[in-house]
Every structure is written in structure tokens, then in C-alpha cells.
Amino acid sequence: MEISNYMRNEHRSCDESFAKSEHAVNNDDFKEAFKHFEDFMIETLNHFAKEEEILFPAFEEATGSTEGPTMVMCHEHNQVRQLLEKLKDAIKNEDKKEFFSVADTLMILLQQHNMKEEQMLYAMCDRVLQQQAGDLVEKMKEH
């Protein structure tokens, strides 16, 4: 459960920053919004990097598959990355309508992505990476 718990907490923490950013845009405070958005973007990209550079390679090595679930997850990371850029532009242009339109799409994409990871991929990681779980989490914390 070590990996699951650690990664799940990161997902929740990203959600918090994002919600703060939405609140600021809703109050037309784009400066505040940008601050929270930056937190969200850094946290999210960092989380993706931990998965792509540490967790997924370890999983792929343990299961011997590189074309399975991890590949799909990486593809969705790229979809999220595109939307993050769009969201940044919307805040810079102080375009509230565009912001919420991108935000809605991004949020559902990210949430269903997280759901798949939490329900399956992390659960499998917990099992196949049982012995190295402690080390992996340490490595990700340092990342």
C-alpha cells in the first residue's frame, strides 16, 4: 500500500491547488489564480515525472511489458500537458470563459486518469514492486 498511498496523496494535493486557482478566476483575481495555477502545474508535472522516470520503468521491468498500461498513462500525461499550456494562456489573457472551458476538460481528463491509476496501476505496483516499495517512494520524495 506504500506506493498507492503516497501517489494518491499527491493526486489529492494537486486537486487542492487547482480548486484554489478556479476560485481565484471565479473572483476575477487573475494574479492570485496564476500563483495557484503555477503551484498546480509544477506539482502535476513533477508527479508525472516521478511516474515516467521512476515508478513506470520499475513496473515495466518487473512485469516485462512496456506497451501496456504505462504507455497509455504516458499518452494521457501528454494530453494533460497540452491542456496545461492552454490554461496558462487563458489566465494570461484573463479570459474567464476560455479558462473554465479548458478547466472542465482538464479536470475530467485528469480525474479519470487518476482513477485508473489508483484503482489498477498503483494497486498492481504495490504488489509487483513490494520489495522495493520503500526505496521507490524515497526516490520519488527526493525527486
Partner 1 sequence: MFSHGLSLDQAPPLSVIMRFFLTIPFFGVLAAFGILFADVQNLGNWDIPQTVAIVHLLLIGVAAMAMIGALFQMLPVLAGAAIAEPLYHARWTHLLLIIGTLMITAAFYFNTYIFMHPAVPLLIGSFGFIIYLMLSKLAAVENKTPSVVGMMVSLSSLGAGLLLALILTAIFMGADFGMEPLQLRSLHLRFMLAGWIGTLVMAVSFQVIEMFYVTPPYPKFVRSFFPLGVLFSLLLYTIAIFADSVIASVADVMLALLFLCFSLVTLRRLMQRKRPVADATVWLWRTAMISLLLSSLSAILHIVAGIDGAVHFFALLFGYFVLSVIFAMSYKIVPFLVWFHLNAKGVLETPLMGDILPAKAATLHLWLHWVLGVCGLFLLLTPYAYKGIALLLGAGLIIYGVNILRALKIYNSLKDKGLL
Helices (H) and strands (E) in the chain, counts: 7, 0
Residue type, 11: H
- Can you tell me which of 1, 42, 49, 72 binds partner 1, judged by CB under 8 A? 72
Pick one of 40, 117, 129, 137: the residue that binds Fe ion (CB under 5 A): 117
With contact defined as beta carbons under 8 Å apart, do 37 and 21 qualify? yes
Task: Name which of 111 and 138 has its Cβ closer to partner 1.
Answer: 111
What is d(CA 7, CA 13) in angstroms, rounded to the nearest whole number? 10
Cell (9 digits) for 99: 479558462
Distances (CA, A) of 121 to 71, 81, 132: 12, 20, 16
Cell of residue 41, nine digits: 502545474
Does 111 help bind partner 1 (rule: CB under 8 A)? Answer: yes
Residue 27 is classified by DSSP as: T
Distance CA 110, CA 140 (A): 20
Options 33-41, 45-53, 97-105, 131-139: segment touching partner 1 (CB under 8 A): 97-105
Q: By CB under 8 A, is residue 115 in contact with partner 1?
A: yes
**Residue number, nearest CB to Fe ion:** 117
If the CB atoms of residues 31 and 67 are measured against Fe ion, the closer one turns out to be: 67
Per-residue contact track with Fe ion, 38 to 77, x per CB under 5 A?
-------------x---------------------x----
- Which residue's CB is nearer to partner 1, number 89 or number 138? 89
Nearest to partner 1 of 75, 141 (CB atom): 75
